[in-house]
Amino acid sequence: MTAQTVFPPPQPGPGGPGPSPATSAGRPGLGDRPAGPSLSPSRAADFKTCPLLFRFRTIDKLPEQPSADQVRGTLVHAVLERLFDLPAADRTPQAAAALVAPEWDRLVAHDPRLVSLFATEPAPRPSAAPGPLSTSGQPTSSPSGPLPTSGPLSSGTAASGTPSSAPAGEPAAVSSPLGDPAAAVAPAAGAVSAGDAAVVASQGAATAVPPLVRDPAAVAAEVDATGQLALVDAPPGAAEAARLAAFLSSAGDLLPGYFAVEDPQRLEPAERETLISTMIGDELLIRGYIDRLDISPAGDLRVVDYKTGGAPREAFEGRALFQLKFYALVLWRTRGVVPRVLRLLYLKDAEILDYSPEADELERFERTLVALSQAVERAKSTQDFRPKPSRLCGWCNHQAFCPEFGGTPPPFPQSPTAGL
């Protein structure tokens, strides 16, 4: 998930279970930096995906403006968590739909900046100068060749487990009735955020900010989430309200996909939005948040992760399973039980992906995390975080700082934070 504000714990509904340890809208705990090395699923996946992206997010802490698609994922996760606060008989599609507006109001109350996602006019941006891009808008210096100008991409996180986010919902490939989705919202979706531009100016990393090179699926996902298409016939002065209404409607449209694959009236989750952690050896702390944990009467564990994106998800399914294996390892080490099922629920397509890990597989995964942490520490000691071009570059918000796009990383911090 993308929102990092700490919310008060939810209150139980009448007859419902007690409050969850955390909420999907605000996750206290992960912001507390441990003294030694630590890994979360999102940061570990960042380093595997691109060491330079890991540096930008974890060491430089460059600001990232959450997209409407990410915030929609956060909203849907919050609705599904609140749904289980209701008595079992009341967990209906209508009840879930009724939770969308109040959960959105709760998000905005704790972070009023979210309303700016639907502003009629985008915030002022610095003038953009062309970078080393070809006439097609793709980088010409990438050792892996140009980024694809088409081809669907989608993910699993948002909340958590996505390249844009982690957390909070994931980009989904959607079609646009107006033709090329990039043409529909290129000015809004293809500009560097004001926060990134400010960092560039203050650190002297660049004199001009080149436009982002966006994957069409990332642009299309934002079209879908922000309701850009609703602006076609919107009267003057009503565009912002139309975009917000379309956003809330698009969040509600994902809920039937959940009810198509699960019956919440027959479920009583043991834990929701739970922070779990453990130590590997005496040095490495691993931790993360589980969307939902089910425990059968026989003691079997099922880890459930909600994904608001849709198929095809070839580029992200491995990342999502990496995240779930991370959780399975922590549960195994802390509770002595290997989870029976790791479940991905894809709401957009109403699909379930189940995976059953084995103990020897988790042992190998544990060694992988140790090696990954050691690689991170070596990169920190040498200040060597190299870019790793891939299809996922089209989702990255930090192209202005990336050498693959003609950018220059900011100066390496003198004392980078140990905890990751």
pLDDT of 65-91, one tens digit each?
888 888 999 999 999 999 999 999 999
Residue 137 lies in a domain: no
Sequence-separated (6 or more) residues with CB below 8 Å from residue 277 = 285, 286, 287, 288, 330, 334
**Model confidence at 308: pLDDT above 70:** yes
pLDDT confidence band for 7 (50 / 70 / 90): very low
pLDDT of 334-388, one tens digit each?
999 999 999 999 999 999 999 999 999 999 999 999 999 999 999 999 999 999 9
Residue 102 lies in a domain: yes
* d(C-alpha 304, C-alpha 331), whole Å: 13
**The pTM is what?**
0.69
Supply the Cα-derived Rg of the chain in whole angstroms. 21
Residue 299 lies in a domain: yes
Q: Confirm if 131 and 406 have CB atoms less than 8 A apart.
A: yes
Q: Confirm if 82 and 103 have CB atoms less than 8 A apart.
A: yes
Residues 255-271 have a mean pLDDT of 97
Residue 384 lies in a domain: yes
Residue type, 174: V
Q: Confirm if 182 and 342 have CB atoms less than 8 A apart.
A: no
CATH at 92 = 3.90.320
**Model confidence at 286: pLDDT above 90:** yes
How many domains does one find in the chain? 1
Domain hosting residue 369, numbered range: 38-118+259-405
Residue 143 lies in a domain: no
Which tokens sit at 90?
């009341």
Residue 319 lies in a domain: yes
Residue 323 lies in a domain: yes
Residue 211 lies in a domain: no
DSSP-derived 3-state class of residue 39: strand
**Model confidence at 37: pLDDT above 60:** yes
Q: Confirm if 310 and 154 have CB atoms less than 8 A apart.
A: yes
Pick from 27-36, 203-212, 356-365 the range whose average pLDDT is largest: 356-365
Phi, psi of 406, deg, nearest 5: 80, 10
pLDDT confidence band for 227 (50 / 70 / 90): low
Q: Confirm if 305 and 343 have CB atoms less than 8 A apart.
A: yes
Residue type, 185: V
* d(C-alpha 111, C-alpha 87), whole Å: 29
